[in-house]
Amino acid sequence: MKTERQYFNEAVSIQQYMDNMTTLKEESFSIYHNFAVPTTDGFIELLKEKQPKILTITEDWCGDAMLNNPIIRRVAEAANLDMRAVLRDEDTDLIDRYLTNGGRAIPMYILLDAEGQVIGKWGPRAPELQEFVMAKRAGLPDKEDPAFEEAQKALYGEIREANRTEPIYWTYVYEAFKKQVTAILG
């Protein structure tokens, strides 16, 4: 069984991953180009000091990845951190170590120390966004209803559009990531 360190060493850079996206690429880069990393809250300085590596488990069709990856990439770039990406579906052994409520939810960010040991994780979604998604899902028809599939597809499109265009959502991601990582790094 491969270690997280081995996955990290074999992974592509987050830049290469985003450059090679075939789905939700434009939306992801829109967030990347418009998100400004806060520089007065001490988080970037903490990251520069501790230098964790970030292993991202992702897929380019995922709306949460479309939102989170460009924001975390901006943070990593501001702190000069090494951030790399692996595809969840290419090797499910890794994601199966980081299940969310029993599911393979992505994106997942695994923090590694200088030796490549896991020191923590964050993902797949900021708490405020989880509440938003759960509230929206509550309005869907039953899964057996013939209208369910169409309604779910429309809902996912609505969520993706909000993720792409609402700067407050970007702030939720940044703040949730900062809170978790600060707790990990001390």
Is position 87 within any domain? yes
pLDDT tens for 113-170 read 999 999 999 999 999 999 999 999 999 999 999 999 999 999 999 999 999 999 999 9
pLDDT tens for 57-110 read 999 999 999 999 999 999 999 999 999 999 999 999 999 999 999 999 999 999
What sign does the CA torsion over 107, 110, 111, 114 have?
A: negative
Is position 162 within any domain? no
pTM equals 0.95
Is position 36 within any domain? yes
CA–CA distances in Å: residue 3 to residues 107, 127, 184: 19, 29, 20
Is position 27 within any domain? yes
CATH (domain of 57): 3.40.30.10
Is position 71 within any domain? yes
Is position 11 within any domain? yes
* Structural domain for 41, as ranges: 4-126+167-185
DSSP strand pairing (108-112 vs 118-122): antiparallel
Is position 72 within any domain? yes
Domain count, the chain: 1
Is position 134 within any domain? no
